[in-house]
């Protein structure tokens, strides 16, 4: 019963987000609109955190698993990627390291400065 009610709230927000996205023809994905909606509902007290907490914990705990099919879909692109694999890997890895350092350093630097 409790799980069903939690599912109702979360899926209801997903649905509402899709409706909003279509009505206003937004480029922001419905998932992200849903996340903003849930945050607003929580902040305004319309939804209490206990009303979604168990489901949220379950979904976030298994987040990595939900990416498996997206990863498997790579098999549809093997032809297009032939001969480019290594270069794509190199670009993505180096760029990802750059992003991690730039983001991490700037957040930490600003926090230190503001903390003083």
Partner 1 sequence: MFDSPYFGLVISILFFELGIIINKKTKIAILNPLLISIIAIIGVLQFFDIDFETYNQGGSLISFLLGPATVVLAVPLYKQIKLVKKNFVSILFGILLGSSSAVISTWYLSSWFGLSEEIRLSLVPKSVTTPIGIEISDSIGGIPSITIVGIVIAGILGAVIGPYVLKLFKIDDPIAVGISFGTSSHGMGTTKAIELGETEGAMSGIAIGIAGLISVMIIPIILKFIT
Site for partner 1 in 28-67 (CB under 8 A): 28-32, 34-39, 42-43, 49, 52-53, 55-56, 59-67
Compute CA distances 100 → 35, 60, 88, whole Å: 24, 22, 18
Considering beta carbons, is residue 19 or 98 the nearer one to partner 1? 98
Considering beta carbons, is residue 1 or 68 the nearer one to partner 1? 68
Q: Looking at 1, 4, 75, 82, which residue binds partner 1 (CB under 8 A)?
A: 75
Inter-helix orientation angle 30-44/2-23, to 10°: 120
Site for partner 1 in 94-113 (CB under 8 A): 94-108, 110-112
Under the binding rule (CB under 8 A), the answer on residue 24 touching partner 1 is no
Under the binding rule (CB under 8 A), the answer on residue 4 touching partner 1 is no
- Per-residue b or e along 48-72, where b marks 16 or more CB atoms closer than 10 Å to that residue's CB: eeebbeebeeeeeeeeeeeeeeeee
Q: How far apart are the first and last CA of the chain?
A: 51
CA 15 centroid distance within chain: 17
Under the binding rule (CB under 8 A), the answer on residue 76 touching partner 1 is yes
Under the binding rule (CB under 8 A), the answer on residue 20 touching partner 1 is no
């Amino acid at each position: 019963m409790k799980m069903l009610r939690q599912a109702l709230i979360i899926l209801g927000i997903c649905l509402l987000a899709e409706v909003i996205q279509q009505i206003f023809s937004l480029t922001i994905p419905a998932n992200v609109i849903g996340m903003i909606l849930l945050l607003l509902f929580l902040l305004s007290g319309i939804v209490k955190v206990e009303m979604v907490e168990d489901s949220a914990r379950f979904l976030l705990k298994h987040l990595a698993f939900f990416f498996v099919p997206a990863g498997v879909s790579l098999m549809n692109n093997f032809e297009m990627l032939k001969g480019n694999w290594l270069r794509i890997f190199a670009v993505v890895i180096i760029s990802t390291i750059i992003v991690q350092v730039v983001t991490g350093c700037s957040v930490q630097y600003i926090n230190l400065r503001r903390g003083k």
